Structures are given as structure tokens and as C-alpha cells.
Structure 1
Amino acid sequence: MRSLPHGTGRWRRIVYGGRVKIALMDSGIGLLAATAAVRRLRPDADLILSLDPDGMPWGPRTPEDLTGRALAVAEAAAAHRPDALIVGCNTATVHALPALRARLEPEVPVIGTVPAIKPAAAGGGPVAI
């Protein structure tokens, strides 16, 4: 049995009988760093990578355009029925996370990058990003 912590606020834990399937999304090559981090933490997981090379970078886009593109990339990943979706893009986390969660949860928990940074930054010590 394997478990994967997820959620917002209070952490919940889901227990799986088989391999964990984790989807990761970003506009482009930024996905590689997130993928490497997940692979280090969960070498047993099956990974699904979903990106938008024609639309990268997402940073200069309007929040509305970015949200539309992020939803399309997330839905492509969700079609593979992952156990969780990690948004590997800070810009998409800031602008599209509520829309992604509204569309995919509770079937697919959506994890953004910025919430993971907030506790680290609040710790008071030096932070490497």
C-alpha cells in the first residue's frame, strides 16, 4: 500500500493499493525541474507530463488567457486518470489554481507550487528557490 498526502489547509491522506499516478503540468521546460523533484521523492510513481509548448511562456499572458491554456493542459493530463495533478508553474498557480481545482477536484486533487513556497518563506531563514 502506498499513500499520497494532498489537499489544502488540513492534509488528507489517500491510500492506494497499486502504483501512484501523478500528473505534472507546465507551459514548457519548467516542467523538468518539478518532474525531477517528484521522481526523487516518489521513484515508484507513474508520471504523466502535460505541457503547452506552443503557448510558452505563460508569464506574459493575461490571467484569462493563461487560465484557459492551463485548463486545456490540465484536462489533457486528467484524461489519463491521475491520482493527483501538480501545477509545476508559479504563474499558473497564482492565476489558474482556483479554476483548475473547480474543474478537477475532488476527483483529481490539484497541488500548486506557490502554497508549498509560502511555509518555507515564512520560516524566517534563508530560502533557496
Structure 2
Amino acid sequence: MSNLEQTLIVVKPDGFKKGLVGKIISRFEEKGFQIVDLKLFQFDVETARRFYEAHEDKHFFDELVSFICSGKTVGCILEGNNAISTVRLMVGNTKSTEALPGTIRGDFGIGFTDNIIHASDSAESFIKESKIIFN
């Protein structure tokens, strides 16, 4: 039985600077995900603070906001079966050093903040985050 869902990924500035956008998106397409929307943009501080407001009380919040504003990013809405959980598995552990080989962060990330990609962790997050990026 299929559970067709949409989710959001954001290729962060480190992924964009390393020229990984095509490789990352191809991984999702190869797993059968369809691109619903795609946007190249750069976060400003206000938008980044809204995007990451769930982490506002964490010690790394300012570093996270600064990093996501440091360069161009690519936002992409993907659609497919069990998109949220499957994409999260493909992305890997938030800490790139703990992400398994074969995951996007395991293969390309180098740290906690500079971990190449963001992926929505729930349907609620997808709705909130996609509205922020795609208005």
C-alpha cells in the first residue's frame, strides 16, 4: 500500500559550494522521488531564524543561522511513497561524522552544522518549512 507524501530538502551552502546539488537530487530521483518544486536562493537572517525556530533555545542556534546564510542554497519539494521517513534515512545522521556510509551526510558531510542537507522531519515541519521557502 502506498503512502504518497511530500517533503522538503534544502541543500545547504556547503553542498552548493562543493557542486553537489545534482548528485544529491539524483539520489532521490533514482529512488523514485519526483521533484514538485525547486528554488535556488540565499537565506537572510530573519528567514533563517524563522526556518530554524525549533532550535532557538539551543546553544548552536546562532551558528546554524550564520551558516545557512553564508551562501546559496537549493530548496526542493520531493514527492514519493513514505517520503518523509525515506528521505530522512537517505540523508543520514545530523552529525555527519556519525552518519553511515551511503547516506548523503555520511558521503559528503564533514560536521554538525556543515552537514550538506536539511530534510523535514515531519508532515508539520514540511508544511511550515515549505511555506517559508516557497511562500
TM-score, with structure 2 as normaliser:
0.33
Structure with bigger helix share is 2
Which one has more relative contact order, counting CA pairs under 8 Å at least 6 apart?
2
TM-score, with structure 1 as normaliser:
0.34
